[in-house]
Structure 1
């Protein structure tokens, strides 16, 4: 049985758009809840912000870079 041809960027966006949107909303809501609860000097919060920036930068290999930062 032949392999399916590679998907186009548009097909991949169609496939992942709603999941990505949902996950981004969930992350934003979690940051909002933490901030509404008050000041949080915990370094984990700053680390999560740093990691979130990797997810939306325009550099390649975001997933392995993000995983590398999570393992620190």
Structure 2
């Protein structure tokens, strides 16, 4: 299997941690596009750390949870 692109990690993180549970199925693709755009423009440090380290530290997980919490609220 090829390695994950660093922008896929936040999306997978959001999915496995329940942040998509309340998003209507017909909005998931829109949520994903908007979320990764938001992460890339407003939280590029997260993507850089994922690329550089290749692992999610506790600190990075906390950052991702905050970003997911705040972003998901706009789609409920």
TM range (shorter): 0.3 to 0.5
**Higher gyration radius (CA):** 1
TM-score by length of 2: 0.37
Instruction: Point out which structure has higher relative CO (alpha carbons under 8 A, 6+ apart).
Output: 2
TM-score by length of 1: 0.39
